[in-house]
Structures are given as structure tokens and as C-alpha cells.
Amino acid sequence: MSFILYPISSSNTYTMTRLKFLFCVFLSAWLLNACSSSTPEQTKIPPTEIKVVGESIAELTSPPLVPKPIGNREATKLIVNMEIVEKEGTMADGVKYLYWTFNGTVPGSFIRTRVGDEVEFHLKNHPNNKLPHNIDLHAVTGTGGGAASSFVAPGHEVTFSFKVLNPGLFVYHCATAPVAMHIANGMYGLILVEPEGGLPPVDKEYYIMQGDFYTKGKNGDPGLQPFDMQKAVDERPDYVVFNGRVGSLTGDNSLKAKVGETVRLFVGNGGPNMVSSFHVIGEIFDHVNVEGGGLVNHNVQTTLIPAGGASIVDFKCEVPGTFVIVDHSITRTFNKGSLGMLTVTGDENKQIYSGKQTEGIYQPEGSTIQNMPGEKVPDAPKATSHEERVALGKSVFAKTCQACHQENGQGIPNAFPPLAKSDFLNADVNRAIGVVLHGKTGEVMVNGAKFNGVMPAQVLSDEEIANVLTFVYSSWGNKKQEIKPAMVASQRAH
């Protein structure tokens, strides 16, 4: 490199000073460019050439738990032992399903590795199983992600090896034909490949995986439900759930954290068909590894996770409460089961979230109902017979109650209690009238299941309440009883 300096009069000090400044800037840029030709990123050892040190048995965990972080350990030979088990389990209360599993759970065990590890994979097919299976790990660079080397019959074991080259969160699943059927029966899980040096530390880590299930019966139909291939082909799932079943992350099974703690969720979507719109109600994701890879997004409300994909989301718990985990394709959550909970305990922070401060009556037309002069507010129709009361009540139910308790009175598991064959309703008619009149907050037990929510007081006349409750009591296996407006008026006076 050469520089041309033109003669300058010694009297022109301004020009000389400026040229000296420009020369220094140019020289600094050249030196910086020369140094950057050997950045740490470029001098890193390629993953294919990372040497392994020793060997160890992989720690595998069942959902929602994850193995301890890799941290700074060197690459090693990692031995993974996985067993395929076909077993009957619970899809929802009263609903059984024959799951096909990796290590006995849906999703299968969480596998944690680091870049450069050489994984020796042992896949066993339990002798009591009926079908052959295999495994396709999206973290594998090789034919079929390992599927071509891992086809295994009941009572047999296969071994294959691979070196993990790319950091990220990856899905694994069975890839035996028909592939959709094997995946839809629960054969999927996650494998994490940490970068050198590990992931940034957090206080809590959990493992969640969404899946869609297709049964011969409709959602909620009791008994052992077989897989329905036509529904799977039509992409009409009866259940869309987290971790293999309705309620897997609710109640006593909810995830736990404390105020001030940072939480990391490793989230996968086994599919086989549905895309997940993953969201935690009341939280914002500080960091999201988009599709489980190296692209990091910040301050995210809802992240898309494709079938066969994954994401890593981090956030800090700032206030206490129950934070509901959902697929924000929201009817799946409240009608098909994709609902979980994160329970955060600790001190409140009123500056961040006040909670309810005031409550008053909202009357958009003023303090009294506004009417046209001489116009009379119409009363609810009065029933002249039990049959007419049932018919009028059915109309009220459709407009007021059906969205939550459903057309058949079955309710929505973990959200709204059933009215059909309801021991809660049938035990105390006056209590039922009071709930409609005054609302109900807190935990109730209905037909052996706990529900914890809020039912607001209904703005209905005595006649309308008598009609709708008569309809409910006359339907779905409840005791036949007619509720009269006078009974409602008596409870309203209490």
C-alpha cells in the first residue's frame, strides 16, 4: 500500500492538520481490517474436527423436566439409551388412549448435548410391543436423521452413532410408515445441542411439547379411543394438548417459579399437522430463539412453532400469579386441551401490576334505563307449562350459557364445569339458583373434577332464570325438576 503526499505550504497549518487526521483515520481502518481477518469466530475449530474427551451416559428426563445444563464441559462420547414402549394412558378424564412412546412418556425423554459430542444411540423396542419403529433426530446430519439406521423390531435393539454439528433445539420422532400415525400416537421429543460454553444461565428450565391427536370418538367420549387415520388425513384433531394429555400442566402439575426468577421454556411441536401459536398469558418473552436456532428475537408476545419445529423462550417472573400457557389458536385451548399453567409465588409489585383497584356499575345509558316516551320495557315471556318453560329456557341457554358449558352440557375440561349429570347442581337447587343470581368465584368440585374460575352474576329476570334452570335440570341426565320464578325471587331476596 502506498500513500501520495502533496507539497503543502508550512503556512497552511489547517490543511496540514486535516490531512494528518484523515491519514490517521485511514491507517486505523486498514489496521482494523487486517486484524479482523483472523477473528475468534474464524479461528474456532470446525465442529467436525472437535476432539472428544472420555465418555458418559446421557442424563435423560421425562417432561416437563430437563437435564442439568452442559456448561463448559468438553465434547465427549455421549451414550443415549432409549426404549420404545407401547402403553395405554389417559388422554382426558375418563378417556384412554394407546400411546406409542419413547421411554414411556409423551413427549419422549429430553436429550441434552453440546456441539462436537459424538452420540452413540441405543434404541430398544420392548418385546411386548406389536410394531417396528425407528427414530429420526432433526439434529442429525445423515440419511433420514438416523431413521435409515434405526429400524428395529419388537424385542430387538439397534445402535448407531452421529456427531452433533449445529447448536439449537431440535425435534426427534418416529419415521416408520405410516409416519403420521406414529407421530400422532405420541412418538416425538426434543434434543438440545448447546453451543460451546453452554447457554446463558437461568433459574428454572422446563420442557413442553404440543401434539395433535385423532380419535374415533369425539372430544370427551369416554373409554379407550383408537386412532382415526381419516381425521388425521383431514387434519381434524379431537385433542390438541401439551405433554400428551389434557391437564398435564395444570393444578398440582403446573410449572413452578418464584418472583424474580428467570424461566426458560424448551418448547416443541410434534404435530403431526397443527402449527402452534405459543403464548403465556400475562408474560412477554424477553428472548426467543426463533425455530430453535441462532436467530434471537426480543420482547415477543406469541411465537409460531411449526409442526416438527421448536423454540426456546426466556422471561423473568416479575409478579406473582397463575400464568396460563396456551396455543393462541384459542379454540384449541378451551375446546381441545392445549392449556397449561405456570404458578409464580412471591411478593406483589403494585408498580408493575396493581390488580383490581375499583369495581362499579357500568350503565352506558346513564343512571336509569332510557326509554322513548310512553315506551314500555318488554318483560320476558311467561311460561304456561313445564314444556314451554323448557323451550324458553333452551333459548336463554343458547344465548347466555352455551359458549362456556357447551351445547351438550359437557363443559370444557379444566375451564368450565359440566352441567350434564352434575352432582353439584343436583345436590342443591337453591345453591344453583344463587350461583346464577350472584355469580361464583373460587374452587368447586363437579363430578370428581376440580374447577377454579369465575362465573359472573347473570343479568336475567326471575322468569328467565327459572326457565334456563328448568331446561338444564330437564336435560342431560339431571333430575327432572321445574324451577318457578317465585323460587328465584326468594333467593334474590337473600
For cell 481477518, name the residue.
37
DSSP category for residue 237: -
In 3-state terms, what secondary structure has residue 167? coil
Which residues make Cβ contacts (< 8 Å) with residue 209, sequence separation at least 6?
Answer: 63, 106, 107, 188, 189, 190, 242, 243, 267, 268, 269, 270
**Residues belonging to the chain:** 494
328 labelled binding-site residue: yes
What are the contacts of 445-454 at 24+ separation with CB within 8 A?
446/411, 446/417, 446/418, 446/422, 447/417, 447/418, 447/421, 447/422, 447/423, 448/93, 449/93, 449/413, 449/417, 450/251, 451/414, 451/415, 451/416, 451/417, 453/415, 453/416
Report how far residue 113's alpha carbon sits from residue 97's, in angstroms, rounded to the nearest whole number: 32
Do the annotations mark residue 122 as ligand-binding?
no
Q: Is 174 annotated as a binding residue?
A: yes
Per the rule left: phi > 0, alpha: psi between -120 and 50, beta: everything else, 30 is: alpha
Is residue 405 marked as binding?
no
Check the annotation: does 133 bind a ligand.
yes
Closest CA to 285 of 263, 307, 261: 263
Strands 204-213 and 276-280: unpaired
Q: In whole angstroms, what is the distance from residue 28 CA to residue 42 CA?
A: 22
Grid cell at residue 122: 441405543
β-pairing, 339-345 vs 255-258, is parallel
Q: Is 173 annotated as a binding residue?
A: yes
Q: Give how far the C-alpha of residue 306 lies from the chain's centroid of Cα atoms, to the nearest Å.
A: 13
Which stretch of DSSP H or E encloses residue 415?
A: none
Q: Which residues are annotated as a binding site?
A: 133, 138, 173-174, 182, 187, 328
Please report, in range form, the residues annotated as the binding site for Cu cation: 133, 138, 173-174, 182, 187, 328
